[in-house]
Chains A and B, each alone.
Chain A
């Protein structure tokens, strides 16, 4: 049996050490608590901001909601100077927003997935980095640059070459001849959709590329081993394995397309009446607000705020649906 005898000196030293340690731990604890609260406040401020934005949008839109009610959603006329009262309906911009985004997705999703598949499955390693970087650079270009390019270069090019060709190609076919009706125009719904497609392409490609990279090589090798072609491997192994991520990327891109403002304002033509032809000018919610807000007042301004509220709701719905789809896919994949 051994006994440890501590001298008086050592004992005081140890006690002092213990006190110092307790103090230090307390300080750490206090620091941790402060960190916890700082983070918590930061997180709550997001909710507060979001709530504040919704409330101020509703307050701003209230006069328009009270005056037009649900007719706002079904009225195509936009007559801020009508006498005695302005007649304002949001159908034109809502239609323009939905259709331009839909066409943009129709173009961007196949192309974006194609790029991602090429980069991950088919591309010679030497080319992978330059093409990947080019796609990432596309995402970094400010939207006003896309707008200017669309206005000065793409618009005239489409109006002089592509549009007349499509118009004459579909001239004799019912329905399609109305969808692709002339005259060709520098500023049109289709041009805006095409610019939107280019703008959201990097989002789709970047996410698809990342999720394609998560497919276990052993699965692909097994499929190749069974004699599958690349087409079959992509269709039966890669895409089913990654569809959650691919859809998520698509929804993210759709969210951006719905709200894009400057580039679209430049090239869509800012025209409220709904036309059957996609080569006719149109307008979107965000471009209508960007064009008219500074000069608006009264009911006109309130209606623009109501349009903003609708865009908010629309984007929220798209993101919710995306979440819901992803959740269902995840549970299905889990079974």
Chain B
């Protein structure tokens, strides 16, 4: 939330924000203790209606598989969805497994057991990651499912992106998943992925934006769009948006309009900042759509 600090210096208006998990954020906004909440796991249109909430995507980011194998650098290893799911299901147990070797001819991988690292706390990152695995692997769908916390068949649990990153950094022959911003800032070794179109892609801003380009935001009530496994040759397959939740009829109108002003300012000026923070700004047409939603759905007066 560096953008909130910049907003304060520029306009003199402060915002109080707390970094808590998506689930807790949703809980707090349902309990009406906050002006707005943010979540990586969007609520469905029905849920929004039930609780009198308005939702829109604010920024995008990617989720990247990170690994720790001696002598293998970022971008040298490539995995596809099915293999990633098999690793997380525990059916691919070793780095020299045939499934991995087939994708990586010429890359020397050790005959060592894979230590699978995943989140121990509920998280929007997990929601999008498991959503992707479920889309590419029926076995994952039936055995573990999709959610902010799922029934992990194997692996060690670590708390937060930093916990996963710490564990992967610490454990030889391990694999984990973290937000792209986190992987980049901490210089973690990441893997490329084969996307839905069968093309090899690296986690970069253009590949995240490509995934968002195809999403049909206009026809998704409540902007309910999960950006994993999107079509397109250049799309990074585990792309995710962070959504903002606000009341359709806020109790504290002054605070709510202040918040909306902040979001409008962020869309206008925050682009550069989002990129500096390794998050990806929403495309312009989507921003215009969201401005219309604010005007139509949130009662600020």
Contacts and interface: CB of A to CB of B under 8 A. Distances in A.
A295 B21 contact: yes
Interface string B114-150: 0100001111000000100000000000000111111
A101 interface: no
Contacts of B15: none
A271 B151 contact: no
A270 B149 contact: no
A271 B158 CA distance: 10
Contacts of B146: 81
Contacts of B154: 271
Nearest to A160: B172
B155 A294 contact: no
Interface stretch (A10-18, A26-34, A179-187, A204-212): A179-187
B19 to A, nearest CB: 11
Contacts of B264: none
Contacts of B120: 265, 270, 291-292
Interface string A168-186: 0000000000000011011
A155 interface: yes
Contacts of B27: 297
B148 A81 contact: yes
A269 B157 contact: yes
Contacts of A269: 156-157
B60 to A, nearest CB: 22
Interface string A276-304: 00000101000000011011110010000
A220 interface: no
Interface stretch (B163-171, B190-198, B265-273, B281-289): B163-171
> For this complex, into which size category does the number of interface residues on chain A fall?
20 to 34
Contacts of A265: 120, 159
A80 B159 contact: no
B150 A183 contact: no
A292 B148 CA distance: 10
Given A155-B170, A292-B121, A295-B24, A81 B149 contact: yes
A interface, by DSSP: helix, strand, loop or mixed?
A: loop
Given A80-B147, A83-B145, A271-B156, A292 B122 contact: yes
A156 interface: yes
B149 A271 contact: no
A273 B113 CA distance: 18
A37 B103 CA distance: 77
B287 to A, nearest CB: 30
Contact of B151 (A81, A281, A295): A81
B232 interface: no
Contact of A186 (B122, B148, B153, B167): B167
A150 B148 CA distance: 28
Given A78-B151, A186-B167, A186-B170, A296 B157 contact: no
A190 interface: no
Nearest to B173: A183
A146 interface: no
Contacts of A79: 145, 150-151
Interface in A124-170: 151-152, 155-156, 159
A185 B149 contact: no
B171 A271 contact: no
Contacts of A5: none
B170 A291 contact: no
Given A270-B157, A295-B121, A151 B147 contact: no
Contacts of A291: 120-121, 157, 159
Contacts of B148: 81, 295
A82 interface: yes
A199 B148 CA distance: 33
Interface of A: 77-83, 87, 151-152, 155-156, 159, 182-183, 185-187, 265, 269-273, 281, 283, 291-292, 294-297, 300
Interface of B: 20-24, 27, 112-113, 115, 120-123, 130, 145-159, 166-167, 170-171
Which 10 A-B residue pairings sit nearest by Cβ, starting from the closest?
Answer: A81-B147, A295-B122, A270-B157, A79-B151, A183-B113, A269-B156, A270-B120, A295-B23, A291-B120, A295-B21
18 contacts: A79-B145, A80-B122, A81-B147, A81-B149, A87-B151, A152-B170, A156-B170, A183-B113, A185-B156, A270-B156, A271-B155, A271-B156, A281-B155, A291-B120, A291-B121, A291-B157, A294-B23, A294-B121
